[in-house]
């Protein structure tokens, strides 16, 4: 007999798996379990909102209404959240920059909030491991060192605003920390500030104001330029860019835009011409920057690109300072290629006091005030507080920056399959034998739906979680599943097979195939040498339906004993007796066989994990050829 079970498999425990924490939770999807040094409660992830890129006036208005409604219900929410939070330990939330009161109120109703402003990087690193969540604006650098110092305890970083260039997203992902932002509530404020800078620059408002305050009356010195009929190039036709465009058109400007990713129909609907980068900068009288700071956009405006601009061009930047080579801009201003610049953002903030750019007489500056209106700050605070509370509650808001976005309806449909995927992963890894880790896994999804109609990212992440967590100290969640798999040399390939089943179900079955590995349960190996297991969801319950070439039908939960035996009468009784004598309650049983009186696989669900002696007795039944005990 090739007995394969050992008590060591009994000790395989997931880190913060709901199945382990509470058997009643075992069929709830656990898409994102966060690591925690202080709070052992598993956190699952539910998707709650899918409005991702609201750029139209309608959606901005809707968002404004949403913000107003959120503000109205904030206190109610706070009570609800407080009641909810009473049932468990309260998360610790660090707010490192000034946040609107309504957001703080919401956070305080949910967790223990500490506002520590102006922390140095060293101080932040020193304190961060005490917190589950960190809320920042653009002034806090959330570097790799911060994530390292958090020692896996930081579950979510909330960026109270749009730009996430101050957060090391790669490090966040590696540490399984969700990053959420508040992308919509300050759009209008930023656009209004852009327009304010455009108009005040054109009419020398700041310079004239300073001159008057110095006791002068210099009317001819501050003759401006008109906006009407001038061409404005919007560089980055996203949320802020389109709102600036809309307002500029109201001022009678001719608006063109450059954005390689902007949908042409959105521009057309606003009568804005989408043009190439070179065309935009060569024809514009005013250039307004609205793209994010990325490796591609860093110093995009430099000596070479300034040289291609129309002489006397005027530049507005309310995006990010780093998109401009600031030394090159000073040169362009000195040579007159750029007549004026109006800047709200700088490569380094605050810029040095003797910055030539800030001091330049043709430059108007503001200290990163784009989002700083009362309305925007209240809106952003509520938006980020809701996203952070949601994330700590296990919800994935539509503003997650480093996790896949899946519409809520897709998520709710996939929920039982997500559990199935994780269970199959956990089962697969427990039947693999040998010291070398699993290198390659093939997942076959059988579905009646068109392959494009099935988003498998969640399922893949949960299979990865199921495979890796039982055999390592890594915790896996939706944020870091792909990254961790790659790090561990685990390659997961996917295949979708269209089958003639009900298109009502997104997936008919999920099969996991592992090649080039021995199995602790030889019956799990198919004729071509792959370890193969397959499962389905029936009545909302994930079930194991095939192992190797044997059809079975057992619920994938709790503890499972798989036995291969000679198909002969009395087997169920014999094994059942042994378990009964050792006070192990059988919860279900299923037998699959190749042919009558040949080989059969018996799958037995047990409420209690049998001890080693009991398992040895099961293995000693003469007709039992092999068996394995699995902790799902």
Ligand X SMILES: O=C(O)[C@H](O)COP(=O)(O)O
Ligand Y SMILES: NC(=O)c1ccc[n+]([C@@H]2O[C@H](COP(=O)([O-])OP(=O)(O)OC[C@H]3O[C@@H](n4cnc5c(N)ncnc54)[C@H](O)[C@@H]3O)[C@@H](O)[C@H]2O)c1
∠ CA 168-170-176 to the nearest 5 degrees?
Answer: 105
Strand partners, 180: 158, 400
Report the residue number, 183 or 558, with the smaller CB distance to ligand X. 183
Query: In whole angstroms, how close is the CB of 586 to ligand X at the nearest point?
Result: 58
Token pair listed for 212: 């008057």
599-606/559-566 β-pairing: antiparallel
Query: In whole angstroms, how close is the CB of 138 to ligand X at the nearest point?
Result: 3
Report the residue number, 288 or 523, with the smaller CB distance to ligand Y. 288
Q: What is the 3-state secondary structure (H, E, C) of 205-260?
A: HHHHHHHHHCCCCCCCCCCCCCCCCCEEEEECCCHHHHHHHHHHHHCCCEEEEECC
Query: In whole angstroms, how close is the CB of 401 to ligand Y at the nearest point?
Result: 11
Report the residue number, 137 or 543, with the smaller CB distance to ligand Y. 137
Please say whether the beta carbons of 516 and 440 come within 8 A: yes
H/E stretch holding 171 reads: helix 169-174
Query: In whole angstroms, how close is the CB of 371 to ligand Y at the nearest point?
Result: 4
End-to-end Cα, the chain, rounded Å: 24
Report the residue number, 139 or 224, with the smaller CB distance to ligand X. 139
291 binds, among ligand Y, ligand X, none (CB under 5 to 8 A by kind): ligand Y
137 binds, among ligand Y, ligand X, none (CB under 5 to 8 A by kind): ligand X
H/E stretch holding 605 reads: strand 599-606
Q: Residue number with the shortest CB distance to ligand Y? A: 238
Strand partners, 159: 136, 181
Give the CA distances from residue 344 to residues 8, 15, 190, 196, 433, in Å, rounded to whole numbers and listed in that order: 61, 46, 10, 11, 61
Torsion sign (Cα): 602, 603, 607, 613: positive
Using the rule CB under 6 A, give the single segment among 183-191, 247-255, 584-592, 598-606 that binds ligand Y.
Answer: 183-191
349 is catalytic: yes
| Side-chain-side CA neighbours of residue 366 (13 Å) | 22
Say which of 114, 123, 218, 349 is annotated catalytic: 349
Query: In whole angstroms, how close is the CB of 436 to ligand X at the nearest point?
Result: 47
241 binds, among ligand Y, ligand X, none (CB under 5 to 8 A by kind): ligand Y
The 545-584 site mask, x for binding ligand Y (CB under 6 A), equals ----------------------------------------
What is d(CA 48, CA 44) in angstroms, rounded to the nearest whole number? 12
What is d(CA 43, CA 17) in angstroms, rounded to the nearest whole number? 9
345 contributes a contact to ligand Y by CB under 6 A: yes
Crossing angle of the two packed helices 57-86 and 187-202, in degrees rounded to 10: 140
627 SS3 class? strand
Closest CA to 258 of 291, 293, 227, 230: 291
320 contributes a contact to ligand Y by CB under 6 A: yes
Report the residue number, 371 or 421, with the smaller CB distance to ligand X. 371
Scan residues 246-265 and list those touching ligand Y (CB under 6 A).
Answer: 258-262
Query: In whole angstroms, how close is the CB of 291 to ligand X at the nearest point?
Result: 12
238 contributes a contact to ligand Y by CB under 6 A: yes
Q: Residue number with the shortest CB distance to ligand X? A: 161
320 is catalytic: yes
160 binds, among ligand Y, ligand X, none (CB under 5 to 8 A by kind): ligand X
Give rounded-to-5 percent helix, strand, coil for the chain.
35, 20, 40
Pick from 5, 70, 173, 297: which binds ligand Y (CB under 6 A)? 297
290 contributes a contact to ligand Y by CB under 6 A: yes
Report the residue number, 290 or 513, with the smaller CB distance to ligand Y. 290
509-514/491-498 β-pairing: unpaired
186 contributes a contact to ligand Y by CB under 6 A: yes
Please say whether the beta carbons of 631 and 7 come within 8 A: no
What radius of gyration do the chain's Cα atoms show?
30
Pick from 32, 60, 318, 546: which binds ligand Y (CB under 6 A)? 318
Query: In whole angstroms, how close is the CB of 169 to ligand X at the nearest point?
Result: 14
Report the residue number, 153 or 161, with the smaller CB distance to ligand X. 161
Query: In whole angstroms, how close is the CB of 463 to ligand X at the nearest point?
Result: 36
Using the rule CB under 6 A, give the single segment among 74-82, 146-154, 235-243, 490-498 that binds ligand Y.
Answer: 235-243
The 10 Å CB-count burial string (b at 16+, else e) for 513-522 is: bbeebebbbb
355 binds, among ligand X, ligand Y, none (CB under 5 to 8 A by kind): none
Please say whether the beta carbons of 550 and 525 come within 8 A: no
339 binds, among ligand Y, ligand X, none (CB under 5 to 8 A by kind): none
123 is catalytic: no
Token pair listed for 58: 């309608």
319 contributes a contact to ligand Y by CB under 6 A: yes
296 contributes a contact to ligand Y by CB under 6 A: yes
Scan residues 365-404 and list those touching ligand Y (CB under 6 A).
Answer: 368, 370-371
Query: In whole angstroms, how close is the CB of 96 to ligand X at the nearest point?
Result: 11
Rounded to 5 degrees, what are φ and ψ at 256?
A: -120, 165
- Catalytic residue list: 320, 349, 368
Binding site residues, ligand Y, CB under 6 A: 162-163, 183, 186-187, 190, 235-241, 258-262, 290-293, 296-297, 318-320, 344-345, 368, 370-371
């Amino acid at each position: 007999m090739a007995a394969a079970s050992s008590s060591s498999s009994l000790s395989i425990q997931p880190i913060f798996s709901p199945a382990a924490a509470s058997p009643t939770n075992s069929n709830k999807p656990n898409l994102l379990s966060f690591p925690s040094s202080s709070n052992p409660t598993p956190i699952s992830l539910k998707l709650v909102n899918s409005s991702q890129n609201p750029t139209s006036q309608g959606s901005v208005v809707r968002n404004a209404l949403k913000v107003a409604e959120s503000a109205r219900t904030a206190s109610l929410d706070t009570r609800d959240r407080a009641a909810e939070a009473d049932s468990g330990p309260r998360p610790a939330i660090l707010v490192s920059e000034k946040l609107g009161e309504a957001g703080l109120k919401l956070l305080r109703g949910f967790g223990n909030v500490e506002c520590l402003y102006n922390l140095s990087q060293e101080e932040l690193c020193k304190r961060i491991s005490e917190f589950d969540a960190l809320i920042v604006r653009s002034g806090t650098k959330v570097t790799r060192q911060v994530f390292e110092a958090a020692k896996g305890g930081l579950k979510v970083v909330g960026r109270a605003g749009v730009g996430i260039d101050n957060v090391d997203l790669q490090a966040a992902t590696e540490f399984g920390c969700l990053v959420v932002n508040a992308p919509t509530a300050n759009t209008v404020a930023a656009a209004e500030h852009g327009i304010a800078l455009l108009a005040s620059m054109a009419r020398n408002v700041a310079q004239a104001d300073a001159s008057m305050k110095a006791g002068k009356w210099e009317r001819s010195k501050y003759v401006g330029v008109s906006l009407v009929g001038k061409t404005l190039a919007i560089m980055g036709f996203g949320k802020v860019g389109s709102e600036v465009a809309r307002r500029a058109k109201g001022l009678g400007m001719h608006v063109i835009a450059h954005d390689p990713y902007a949908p042409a129909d959105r521009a057309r609907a606003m009568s804005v011409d989408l043009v190439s980068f070179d065309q935009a900068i060569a024809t514009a009288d005013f250039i307004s920057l609205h793209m994010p700071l990325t490796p591609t956009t860093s110093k995009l405006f430099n000596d070479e690109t300034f040289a291609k601009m129309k002489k006397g061009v005027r530049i507005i930047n309310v995006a990010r300072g780093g998109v401009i080579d600031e030394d090159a801009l000073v040169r362009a201003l000195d040579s007159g290629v750029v007549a004026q610049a109006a800047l709200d953002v700088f490569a380094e903030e605050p810029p040095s006091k003797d910055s030539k750019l800030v001091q330049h007489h043709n430059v108007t500056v503001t200290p990163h005030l784009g989002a700083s209106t009362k309305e925007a700050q209240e809106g952003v605070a509520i938006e980020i507080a809701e996203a952070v509370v949601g994330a700590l509650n296990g919800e994935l808001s539509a503003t997650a920056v480093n996790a896949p976005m899946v519409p809520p309806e897709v998520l709710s449909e996939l929920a039982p399959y997500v559990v199935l995927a994780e269970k199959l992963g956990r089962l697969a890894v427990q039947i693999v034998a040998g010291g070398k880790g699993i290198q390659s896994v093939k997942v076959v999804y059988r579905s009646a739906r068109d392959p494009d109609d099935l988003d498998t990212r969640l399922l893949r992440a949960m299979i990865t979680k199921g495979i890796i967590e039982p055999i390592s100290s890594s915790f896996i969640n939706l944020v870091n599943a792909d990254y961790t798999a790659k790090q561990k040399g685990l390659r997961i390939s996917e295949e979708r097979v269209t089958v003639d089943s009900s298109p009502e179900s997104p997936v008919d079955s999920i099969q996991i195939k592992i090649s080039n590995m021995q199995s602790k349960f030889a019956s799990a190996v198919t004729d071509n040498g792959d370890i193969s297991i397959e499962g389905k969801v029936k009545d909302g319950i994930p079930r194991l339906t095939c192992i190797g070439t044997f059809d079975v039908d057992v619920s994938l939960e709790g503890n499972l004993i798989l036995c291969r035996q000679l198909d002969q009468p009395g087997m169920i009784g014999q094994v059942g007796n042994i378990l009964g004598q050792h006070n192990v309650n059988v919860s279900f049983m299923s037998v699959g066989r190749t042919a009558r009186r040949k080989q059969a696989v018996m799958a037995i669900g047990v409420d209690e994990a049998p001890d080693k002696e009991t398992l040895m007795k099961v293995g000693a039944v003469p007709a039992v050829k092999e068996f394995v005990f699995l902790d799902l």
